[in-house]
Structure 1
C-alpha cells in the first residue's frame, strides 16, 4: 500500500530555518578563514551539538551539563545568524571571531564526549510529608509465677454470691412525666383506684424499666 506524503507546515518551517542557519554558519566559517570542506563541516558540528543536547534534556531528565552545552550551541548558531545580517564586516572579520571559529572543533568535541559518556542526574523522589504509620507492638504476656509453698485457695461454699451490678437509672423526659401524670389522674377519676405499673406501661407504650421510673416519680 502506497502512503501519500503530506506536507506539514511545521516540517517545512523547520527545513527552511535549518537551511538558513546552515548557510549563515558556513558563511561565518568561510569568512574566518576556513575554506573548502571545513567551512561546510562547521554548521553540521554546531547544529548536531544542539540536537544532541536537546535530546539529552528530553530523554535524560533535568541535567545541568546538557543545559550548558545546549546554551553554548544555541549561542554559536544565533551568533552566526546575527553576524551575517551586517553587524560584522565579514570581509575583515575581527580577531575574536577567527579565534572562536578556530577553537570550536575542540569545544564541540569536548561537549559531545561529555554528553555521550556522562549518565544523567538521577531524579530524587519527593519526600512525603505524611508520617509513616507506627507499627503497634503486641502486648507482652504477663509473667505468671507459681509458688508451691503457698497454700492453694479453694472456693468457699459459704461465701455470699456476687450480686449483679445495679442497673443504671432510666432518664425520663419531663414532658413524658407530665403526660403520664395526666393519664394516671384520668384513670383514678374513671376507676377510683390508683393506676398500676402494667396499666401505665400499656397506656404510654414504653418499656418496663421506664414505666417503673415514671411510676416512682408519680408517687
Structure 2
C-alpha cells in the first residue's frame, strides 16, 4: 500500500516545483516590464487564479467556449513568461509592446475572472414528475371512477332442494334448542357454505 502514497507525493512535489518556477518567471517578467514591488508578485497570482477559475468552470459546467477561451489566455500568459525568461528576451531592455501587454493584464484578468464567476451555468433540467401509480384499493377506485347509481341486486343463484331441506332441518333444531331463529352466520358455519349462499337460503327459504 506504500507505492500509491509515494506516487501521489511525487506528483504533488512535481506540481509544487512546476508552479514555483512558473510563478518566478511571471514575477521576473513583470518586474522587467516596470511593475516593481508588490505589483510584480501580484501578476503570477492573477495568472494562476484565472487559470484555476477557467479549469473549475470546465469541470463544473457552464459555457465551454468561454471557459476554454480564458483558459487559453491564462495558459498563454504563463507559457509566454516562461519562454521570455529563457534567454530569448533581453530582460534589461523589454520592448514597448510587452510593457503594454503586462500593464494591460490586470484589466484582462479582472474581466475574465468576473465572466467566469458570474457567467451563466448549465442548468440541469428538473426531472418531470412521474405519474402516480394506480391505486387498486377501494379508495383509488372511488376517486378515479365516477360514482355510479346503485344497481339492482344480482339474481340469486338457485339453491339445490337437498341443501334447502338440510338448512330447514338445521334451522328447526336451532329454534327448538334456543327458542330463536337461526342467523346467517350460524347457518353458514353449520352448512359449510359460502356467505352469499347462506344469505340466499336465509332470505328466500327460511322466512
**TM-score for both structures, normalised by structure 2:** 0.55
Q: Distance in 2 between matches of 1:29 and 1:45?
A: 12
Q: Distance in 2 between matches of 1:113 and 1:28?
A: 25
Q: Distance in 2 between matches of 1:56 and 1:95?
A: 34
CA RMSD of aligned residues (A): 2.1
Change (3 A) 1:61 1:10: farther
Q: Report the count of equivalent residues.
A: 121
How many Å apart are 1:7 and its aligned residue?
A: 6.5
Change (3 A) 1:120 1:63: farther
Partner of 2:85: 84
Partner of 2:43: 42
Q: Deviations over 1:29-49 (max 9, x none)?
A: 000000000000000000110
Partner of 2:140: none
Gaps of 5+ in 1: 125-219
Q: Deviations over 1:61-115 (max 9, x none)?
A: 5611111000000000000000000111111001111000000000000000000
Q: Distance in 2 between matches of 1:106 and 1:22?
A: 19
Residue pair 2:32, 2:91 contacting (<8 A) in 1 also? yes
Residue pair 1:32, 1:97 contacting (<8 A) in 2 also? yes
Find the structure with the greater CA-based Rg.
Answer: 1
Partner of 1:26: 27
Q: Partner of 1:8: helix, strand, or coil?
A: helix
Q: Deviations over 1:153-185 (max 9, x none)?
A: xxxxxxxxxxxxxxxxxxxxxxxxxxxxxxxxx
Residue pair 1:61, 1:123 contacting (<8 A) in 2 also? no
Residue pair 2:70, 2:112 contacting (<8 A) in 1 also? yes
Q: Deviations over 1:119-163 (max 9, x none)?
A: 134689xxxxxxxxxxxxxxxxxxxxxxxxxxxxxxxxxxxxxxx
Q: Distance in 2 between matches of 1:122 and 1:98?
A: 41
Residue pair 1:50, 1:69 contacting (<8 A) in 2 also? yes
Partner of 1:51: 52
Gaps of 5+ in 2: 126-207
